[in-house]
Structures are given as C-alpha cells and as structure tokens.
Amino acid sequence: MANPLSTLGIVHTIISVAPIVAGLYSFSKYAAIVPKSNSGRIYIITLFLSAITSFGLSSTGGFNAGHAIGIIAMLAVVFSIVIGQLGWFGRLNRYLQALSMSFTFFLLMIPGINETLSRLPPSSPIGSGPDSPPVQTATAIWAAIFLAGICLQAFIMHRRSGTPGLPA
C-alpha cells in the first residue's frame, strides 16, 4: 500500500495543482506562459510555493532530486523574467523567455508524474519510484511531448510575430 501523505504533503499537493491549471490555461490562451498575464503571475507564485513546500518533504530524509528540480524551476523563472526585461538577445528574447517558462512547466510535472504513479491506485501503485520502468516511460513520453511542444510553440510565436494584439 502506498505511503499516506503528511499534512505538509497534502498542502503541497493542493498548491502544486494551481500552477498546472494556470500553465495549461496560459498555454491554451497564449501558446506560452506569459509572466505579465494574470495566469502567468498565478503560475509563477504557485510554482514558487510548490517548490518551497517541497523542501519540507523527503522520502529519503534529505535533499533529493525533487528538491533540485524545484530549485532549477525557480532559477528558470528568474531567468525568464530577467531575459524578458533586459533585452540582451534582441528578437531571441521572446523565444528564450517562452522556452524557459515552458521548461519550468516540464520540470514541475516530473515529480508529479513520479508521485502520482508511485501512489495510485492506492492498493497497487503503477510505479515504485523514479527508477521504476513505468515512471521512466511516462517521464520519457513527457520529455517527447515537451520537445514537440516547444517546437510548436516557437512556430506559433513566429507566425504571430506580426499580429497586433497577440503576445509574440
């Protein structure tokens, strides 16, 4: 039987659903997570809360890969915001910003895939941790979806670059 969630684990899980919903909404509306949009702000705030609450959780009793993923995701958000404001790379800025925000969404889902498959169904979980074949397969499929998604995202951004009123 799967390990029950602690109170912090329940709070973390609830918080972690918000950036998924905000990210999906933003992708459907803008084809990107736009930091200056309402959904983008919600996404960023709840991603940080999700990562911060994850630091109190550990099945190994210390720093683990999930914590590292949270730190990398937070750094990618900061990079995205900074790159969007500094303009160092000219026309590439918008692509770098979109790519880095999409990368945070990709990272956010990796621990989610592991935890979901390692806990559900409760009577006989599909996976047994990040090294189990079902979790590795699902993560590989997620990586392929991410790669296809960022290619599509760049194409859409390129097509929209001359359309007034749409985020480039």
Mean pLDDT over the full length of the chain: 88
Band of residue 3 on the pLDDT scale cut at 50, 70, 90: low
pTM: 0.86
Give every CB contact of residue 132 below 8 A, 6+ residues apart in sequence: 117, 118
pLDDT digits (tens, 9 = 90+) for 139-156: 999 999 999 999 999 999
Residue 28 backbone phi and psi in degrees, to 5: -70, -30
pLDDT at 59: 63
H or E segment at 68? Answer: helix 65-86
Binning the chain into helix, strand and coil, the percentages to the nearest 5 are: 70, 0, 30
Q: Is the pLDDT of residue 1 over 70?
A: no
Band of residue 164 on the pLDDT scale cut at 50, 70, 90: very low
Q: Where are the domains of the chain?
A: 7-160
